[in-house]
């Protein structure tokens, strides 16, 4: 099966793109879970979240898309087909959606909070700002480390990517560059950047094949079902495949850390300030920044 990431075509099962492995068999053994995270830079846990709650959260997002004329109403609404000509919608920080009881009951569920209490061995918090994406036809997310967007607090901060609905290979699922959490040269340069301080565009590359040829690793993805989650550290390079369908790929990414560790102040509180200077003034292109860093 041929899939796309940006301009690159990738064969699933080939050298550059393969499938993620789940960690469900390790779930009762926290030492093994830590070893897996150290080895792979991510954990895929199938069915961690309650499916019905995920479906209810999806419905809230679909209602918002409908209210904004983004759904093709000639198609069954729950499939989420984009209205002709409509693109994706980034709903990060849109509290009318992300702070509904339905949405919070997924991203702040007992299941996910308990997982992190065990994983981090103490009381945990989750950032108030929630990232939510309805990725439209033709769209994808470029490859990046999360640390460049949210690295002002603890580096022991974890992202949870939660699909809100079925995500097939052609709908632009999350894709991880497995091995990238050990790319020391990239971590020491790009990984020290802060988009609001440095005004550099955030995605490290739009050329996934070149990335593997230069640094190694392998892009890996999967199909996802309601209830599945991916958990990853902030130095794990990831993005998404292109959405080749006419349906929205709906997912949320949320953040978790120990309560006792420093937090990135942009993402907490009643009305988090979020990115406040990233696109102000002249922006340095990633190409230019990478030349300066020598990576
Ligand atoms: O869902 C996507 O397209 C990107 C997700 C992401 O960047 C993240 O989980 O940090």
Distance CA 12, CA 41 (A): 20
What tens digit of pLDDT does each residue of 66-92 get?
Answer: 999 999 999 998 999 999 999 999 999
Note the pLDDT of residue 197. Answer: 96
Ligand 1 binding pocket includes 253 (Cβ within 6 Å): yes
Which residues lie across from 230 on neighbouring strands?
Answer: 44, 161
In 3D, which of 262, 124, 284 has the Cα closest to residue 194? 284
What tens digit of pLDDT does each residue of 164-190 get?
Answer: 999 999 999 999 999 999 999 999 999
**From ligand 1's centre to the CA of 239, what distance in Å?**
6
Identify the residue whose C-alpha is closest to ligand 1 atom 7. 239
Instruction: Output the domain CATH number for residue 222.
Output: 2.60.120.620
Q: Is the pLDDT of residue 194 over 90?
A: yes
The parent domain of residue 120 ranges over 2-293
Average pLDDT value for the chain: 97
How many residues comprise the chain? Answer: 295
Whole-prediction pTM value? 0.98
What tens digit of pLDDT does each residue of 154-163 get?
Answer: 999 999 999 9
Counting ligand 1 atoms within 8 A of each CB, the residue from 239, 241, 243, 254 with the most, and so the one to mutate, is: 239
Note the pLDDT of residue 8. Answer: 98
Report the domain count for the chain. 1
**From ligand 1's centre to the CA of 253, what distance in Å?**
6
Note the pLDDT of residue 279. Answer: 87
**From ligand 1's centre to the CA of 131, what distance in Å?**
8
Of all residues in the chain, the percent with pLDDT exceeding 90 is: 97
**From ligand 1's centre to the CA of 5, what distance in Å?**
14
Mean pLDDT of 276-292: 93
């Amino acid at each position: 099966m041929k899939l796309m990431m940006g301009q690159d075509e990738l064969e699933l099962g080939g050298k550059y793109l393969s499938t993620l492995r789940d960690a469900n068999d390790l779930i009762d053994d926290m030492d093994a879970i830590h070893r897996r995270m150290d080895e792979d830079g991510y954990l895929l846990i199938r069915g961690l979240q309650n499916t019905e709650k995920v479906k209810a959260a999806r419905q809230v997002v679909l209602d918002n898309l409908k209210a904004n004329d983004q759904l093709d109403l000639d198609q069954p609404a729950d499939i989420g087909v984009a209205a002709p000509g409509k693109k994706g919608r980034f709903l990060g920080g849109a509290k009318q959606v992300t702070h509904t009881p339905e949405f919070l009951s997924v991203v702040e569920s007992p299941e996910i909070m308990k997982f992190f209490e065990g994983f981090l061995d103490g009381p945990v918090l989750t950032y108030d700002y929630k990232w939510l994406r309805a990725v439209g036809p033709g769209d994808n997310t470029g490859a990046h480390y999360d640390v460049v967007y949210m690295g002002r607090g603890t580096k022991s901060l974890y992202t949870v990517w939660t699909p809100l609905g079925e995500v097939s290979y052609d709908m632009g699922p999350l894709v991880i560059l497995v091995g990238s959490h050990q790319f020391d040269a990239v971590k020491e340069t790009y990984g020290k950047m802060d988009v609001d301080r440095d005004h550099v565009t955030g995605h490290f590359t739009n050329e996934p094949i070149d990335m593997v040829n230069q640094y190694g690793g392998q892009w890996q993805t999967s199909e996802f079902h309601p209830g599945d989650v991916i958990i990853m550290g902030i130095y794990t390079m990831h993005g998404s495949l292109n959405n080749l369908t006419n349906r929205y790929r709906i997912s949320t990414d949320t953040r978790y850390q120990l309560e006792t560790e420093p937090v990135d102040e942009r993402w907490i509180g009643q009305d988090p300030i979020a990115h406040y200077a990233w696109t102000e003034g002249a922006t340095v292109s990633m190409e230019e920044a990478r030349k300066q860093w020598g990576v």
